[in-house]
């Protein structure tokens, strides 16, 4: 909702990407470039810190994608959600900042509603600080120099255990030479973005850096009810750092950051209906007709909605950290102390229609987290090793309100019941939820690299982890007059109200130890050709259900569901990394398989006002596939890259899964009706063994090229350039249990830019994103109630604009 452009920082690092995205770099950035990714000299290489020490990306026996700042900027990838267009194995889903999840190779966090009681399988780190909330993924990247996406388990090298991978973000650090960066972008849909950063010395031993970023854009969906464009962008970020360097062996960096969002978000559009096993009189068409309701448009790409509840995605996140790096002669000691907070103030339309069914739905929450990580790194001629310790403490408090309106009775009560015609029965019915989570974990971890010969290296790693979680959930229910609704109350009115909201209170807790380990063997087959193989045994800690659990037949909470088992993973991977043609070409290939026991899955409940989603264990899950990255730079005038991934991620065994909508909503009985047959019986649960995990495309690609020619413009020597970047993903399921109604078709997006840049750091270019105006969905949703309604989130239409950047 902010309309002013506020200056902000962002990185201008390399124009780089996945282990070998071809790119153009400024002279200042050549030190972190990679062969075949933009350096003018063939021997230049990307330096990474994936193994907590500086080395080239081609030396690391690990599947890793590296994306530099300029490439992020030029493709409009200004947050983790947009980063997925550059790294095929990374996927990101977000119906709002809280309900966000980053997955790698289809693994990480359950698809659907976020539950605070489980760990994120993909760790997000910014300058060595762990960000526990996926909400941070929706904010603008702030003064980023480079991003490393590490695929596969990383717990023996990173503070918080990461079973699926890690996103390691490095920001630009304070410098003892004065420098500055500024960037302004304008585009259609009222897009305005400004970034700025300045760095320099305050004394001989003290340097500072400050960066700002601002993004605003009109929404892409028009709400005819409010008259507003919704799902807008509205980000503001600030980051400041102080570096104290008393001598060449000691760096002490104090950093603080603050980011805020305040968009009118996040709404959906009508997509279609699909028949369920509910009686026809209780499915969407009949329910809407009974109240004289017609959706504003049945074409989702008209981008029209009529949702009538207030929308908000107010979001504040920030914190402070103190990082100490001390060269003690034989090795390097690192200490990272950090505090982070997250405040979330949402409002949603939970019935997804223009009818006042659910008139209020909000779950504001507040989080504080504290982390302390200690590491010691030593490198030698034949042995390198890292030893570390990590302590993490988190508290989340949530206060929820959900209230029904005058249209709820007609929508939710069986029309054969006279109460369906009495709006007062459910009008004003309110559930107040109070919950908290206290999460503490500690770990010892380490990894060594034993150079058996000049070519052969053995790399073992271990991790010992302790987790303790304590939660509380309490839901109180009141009718429209403010009178408590209690279990055991009798009468038709109370029965109708309890069918929507039932009181519930429980306090889950648990503690557990687990031991993880991995072993990697690598062999240099020839100069610039490295082969490696990895086995890892790791765990994701146990979880607790923080959003409520189902009730049993007597209306009592099913306390057996309040905790879920830890995941147990066996991971296998092999790969080869090669450079050839005088390092002008790079080709990396990896094959992988991850087997998971007791996979922590999201379970959905079809009833409108009951527990909408909770966690349960699927017996077995498997993710396996192949990834390939290729880049070529035959000259300083041209570069091209292609990255591809094939991922076969399935439930190997999930015999008691929630049923898809076409097998839901019916009665109970021995004879089960056909899928989508109205008025028939539904199974209590479904066997979805062998079906694909939600959100996973079998095939994903990213690709691009750039060509430049030397020109002189306005008296300045420079380069005119034409660049193209694209990505493709095949179809994927958008429901925890695959449904015929919620498959998202595959799509390809294309971005084009044309510009002029100088060696002095000036760059101006025009850009078009989604150049061919492809209509696609980011996700489809199944609203509660088993009415057959399917809503969706359309992806961005074609956007275009211009950017001016300068470095000095």
pTM over 0.95: no
Question: For the segment 715-755, what is each residue's pLDDT rounded down to a tens digit?
Answer: 889 999 999 999 999 999 998 899 999 999 999 999 999 99
Cα torsion angle, 591, 148, 766, 584, sign:
negative
Structure confidence at residue 562 (pLDDT):
86
The alpha-carbon radius of gyration of the chain (Å, integer) is 27
pLDDT of 327 higher than 50: yes
Question: For the segment 622-640, what is each residue's pLDDT rounded down to a tens digit?
Answer: 999 999 999 999 999 999 9
Structure confidence at residue 33 (pLDDT):
32
pLDDT cut 90: percent of the chain above it: 72
- Beta-strand relationship, 221-223 and 304-305: parallel
* Segment of 87-91, 309-313, 332-336 carrying the highest mean pLDDT: 332-336
Question: For the segment 673-694, what is each residue's pLDDT rounded down to a tens digit?
Answer: 999 999 999 998 899 999 999 9
Structure confidence at residue 76 (pLDDT):
66
Q: What does the alpha-carbon distance between residue 365 and residue 360 come to, in Å, rounded to a whole number?
A: 16
Q: What burial letters (b/e) apply to 15-35, b meaning 16+ CB within 10 Å?
A: bbbbbbbbbbbbeebeebbbb
pLDDT cut 70: percent of the chain above it: 91
Q: What is the mean pLDDT of residues 418-440?
A: 96
pLDDT of 547 higher than 70: yes
- Side-chain-side CA neighbours of 452 within 13 Å: the count stands at 10
Give 493's pLDDT tier (boundaries 50, 70, 90).
Answer: very high
Exposed/middle/buried for residue 43 (C-beta within 10 Å: 0-12, 13-18, 19+):
exposed
Q: Which residues contact 116 (CB under 8 A, 6 or more apart)?
A: 365, 396, 398, 437, 546, 547
Structure confidence at residue 39 (pLDDT):
31
Structure confidence at residue 361 (pLDDT):
92
Q: What does the alpha-carbon distance between residue 428 and residue 481 come to, in Å, rounded to a whole number?
A: 8
pLDDT of 519 higher than 60: yes
Q: What is the mean pLDDT of residues 82-89?
A: 82
Q: What is the mean pLDDT of residues 577-597?
A: 96
Q: What does the alpha-carbon distance between residue 122 and residue 132 come to, in Å, rounded to a whole number?
A: 10
The mean-pLDDT minimum among 104-118, 237-251, 603-617 falls in 603-617
- Check if the beta carbon of residue 206 is closer than 8 Å to that of residue 219: no
Structure confidence at residue 72 (pLDDT):
74
Instruction: Please work out, in degrees rounded to the nearest 5, the angle formed at the alpha carbon of residue 634 by the alpha carbons of 629 and 637.
Output: 110
Question: For the segment 30-53, what is each residue's pLDDT rounded down to a tens digit?
Answer: 333 332 333 323 334 677 777 777
CATH code reported for the domain at 27-807: 2.40.170.20
Q: What burial letters (b/e) apply to 293-320, b meaning 16+ CB within 10 Å?
A: bebbbeebbebbbbbbbebbbbbbbbbb
Give 607's pLDDT tier (boundaries 50, 70, 90).
Answer: very low
Q: Is residue 2 helix, strand or coil? A: coil
Q: What is the mean pLDDT of residues 339-366?
A: 94
**Domain residue ranges in the chain:** 27-807
Structure confidence at residue 725 (pLDDT):
93
- Check if the beta carbon of residue 234 is closer than 8 Å to that of residue 1: yes
Q: What is the mean pLDDT of residues 78-92?
A: 80
Structure confidence at residue 740 (pLDDT):
95
Give 457's pLDDT tier (boundaries 50, 70, 90).
Answer: very high
Give 550's pLDDT tier (boundaries 50, 70, 90).
Answer: confident
- Report DSSP letters for 426-469, one per residue: TTT-EEEEEEEEEEEEEEEEEEEEEESSSSEEEEEEEEEEEEEE
- For residue 687, give the DSSP letter: -
Q: Which residue has the higher pLDDT, 44 or 312?
A: 312
Instruction: Say how many residues make up the chain.
Output: 808
- Check if the beta carbon of residue 493 is closer than 8 Å to that of residue 436: no
- For residue 109, give the DSSP letter: S
Give 604's pLDDT tier (boundaries 50, 70, 90).
Answer: low
Q: Name the E strands within 19-85.
A: 47-48, 55-56, 64-68
Question: For the segment 165-209, what is each residue's pLDDT rounded down to a tens digit?
Answer: 998 999 999 999 999 999 999 999 999 999 999 999 999 999 999
- Check if the beta carbon of residue 511 is closer than 8 Å to that of residue 563: no
Q: What does the alpha-carbon distance between residue 592 and residue 363 come to, in Å, rounded to a whole number?
A: 39
pLDDT of 570 higher than 70: yes
Q: What is the mean pLDDT of residues 54-82?
A: 79
Return mean pLDDT, the chain: 88
């Amino acid at each position: 909702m902010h309309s002013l452009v506020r200056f902000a920082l962002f990185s201008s690092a390399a124009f780089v990407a996945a282990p070998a995205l071809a790119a153009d770099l400024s002279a200042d950035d050549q030190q972190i470039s990679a062969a075949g990714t933009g350096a003018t000299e063939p021997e230049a290489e990307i330096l990474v810190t994936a193994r907590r020490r500086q080395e080239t990306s081609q030396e690391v026996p690990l599947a890793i994608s590296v994306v530099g700042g300029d490439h992020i900027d030029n493709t409009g990838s200004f947050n983790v959600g947009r980063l997925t267009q550059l790294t095929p194995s990374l996927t990101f889903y977000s119906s709002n900042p809280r309900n966000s999840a980053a997955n790698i190779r289809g693994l990480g966090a359950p698809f659907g509603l976020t539950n605070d009681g489980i760990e994120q399988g993909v760790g997000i780190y910014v300058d060595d600080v762990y960000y526990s909330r996926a909400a941070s993924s929706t904010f603008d990247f702030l003064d980023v120099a480079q991003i490393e996406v590490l695929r596969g388990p990383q717990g023996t090298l990173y503070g918080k255990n990461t079973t699926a991978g890690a996103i390691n973000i490095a920001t630009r650090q304070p410098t003892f030479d004065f420098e500055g960066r500024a960037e302004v972008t304008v585009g259609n849909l009222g897009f305005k973005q400004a970034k700025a950063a300045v760095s320099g010395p305050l004394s001989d031993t003290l340097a500072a850096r400050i960066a700002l970023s601002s993004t605003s854009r009109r929404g892409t969906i028009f709400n005819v009810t409010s008259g507003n464009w919704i799902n807008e962008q509205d980000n503001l970020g600030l980051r400041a750092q102080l570096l104290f360097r008393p001598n060449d062996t000691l760096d002490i960096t104090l950093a603080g950051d603050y980011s805020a969002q305040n968009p009118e978000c996040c709404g959906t559009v009508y997509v279609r209906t699909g028949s369920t096993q509910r009686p026809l009189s209780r499915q969407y068409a009949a329910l809407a007709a009974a109240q004289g309701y017609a959706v504003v448009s049945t074409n989702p790409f008209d981008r029209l909605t009529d949702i009538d509840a207030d929308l908000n995605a107010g979001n504040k996140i920030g914190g402070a950290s103190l990082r100490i790096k001390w060269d003690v002669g034989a090795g390097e000691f690192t200490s990272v102390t950090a505090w982070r907070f997250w405040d979330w103030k949402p409002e949603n339309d939970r019935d997804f229609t223009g009818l006042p069914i659910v008139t209020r739905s909000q779950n504001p929450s507040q989080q504080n987290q504290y982390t302390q990580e200690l590491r010691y790194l030593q490198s030698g001629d034949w042995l390198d090793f890292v030893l570390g310790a990590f302590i993490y403490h988190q508290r989340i408090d949530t206060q929820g309100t959900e209230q029904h309106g005058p249209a709820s009775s007609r929508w939710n009560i069986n029309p054969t019941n006279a109460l369906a015609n009495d709006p007062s029965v459910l009008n004003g019915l309110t559930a107040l939820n109070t919950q908290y989570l206290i999460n503490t974990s500690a770990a010892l971890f380490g990894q060594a690299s034993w150079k058996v010969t000049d070519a052969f290296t053995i790399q073992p790693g271990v991790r010992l982890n302790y987790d303790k979680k304590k939660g509380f959930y309490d839901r109180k229910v009141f009718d429209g007059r403010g009178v408590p609704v209690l279990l055991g109350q009798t009468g038709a009115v109370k029965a109708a109200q309890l069918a929507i909201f039932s009181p519930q209170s429980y306090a889950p807790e648990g503690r557990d130890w687990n031991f993880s380990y991995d072993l990697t063997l690598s062999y240099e087959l020839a100069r610039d050709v490295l082969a490696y193989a990895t086995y890892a045994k790791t765990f994701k800690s146990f979880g607790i259900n923080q959003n409520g659990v189902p009730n049993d037949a007597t209306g009592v909470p099913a306390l057996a569901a309040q905790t879920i088992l830890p995941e147990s993973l066996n991971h296998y991977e092999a790969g080869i990394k090669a450079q050839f043609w005088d390092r002008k070409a790079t080709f990396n290939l990896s094959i992988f398989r991850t087997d998971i026991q007791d996979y922590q899955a999201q379970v959905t409940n079809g009833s409108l006002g009951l527990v909408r989603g909770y966690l349960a264990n699927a017996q077995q899950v498997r993710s396996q596939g192949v990834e390939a990255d290729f880049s070529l730079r035959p000259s300083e005038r041209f570069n091209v890259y292609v990255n591809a991934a094939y991922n076969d991620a399935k439930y190997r065994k999930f015999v008691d899964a929630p049923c898809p909508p076409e097998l839901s909503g019916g009665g109970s009985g021995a004879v089960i009706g056909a899928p989508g047959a109205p008025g028939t019986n539904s199974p209590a649960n479904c066997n979805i063994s062998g079906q694909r995990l939600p959100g996973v495309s079998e095939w994903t690609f990213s690709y691009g090229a750039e060509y430049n020619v030397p020109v002189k413009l306005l008296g300045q020597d420079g380069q005119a350039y034409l660049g193209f970047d694209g990505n493709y993903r095949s179809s994927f399921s958008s429901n925890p249990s695959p449904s015929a109604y919620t498959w998202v078709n595959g799509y390809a997006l294309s971005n084009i830019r044309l510009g002029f840049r100088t060696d002095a750091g000036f760059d101006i270019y025009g850009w078009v994103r989604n150049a061919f105006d492809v209509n696609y969905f980011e996700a489809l949703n199944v609203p509660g109630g088993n009415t057959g309604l399917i809503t969706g989130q359309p992806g961005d239409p074609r956007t275009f604009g211009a950017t001016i950047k300068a470095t000095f």
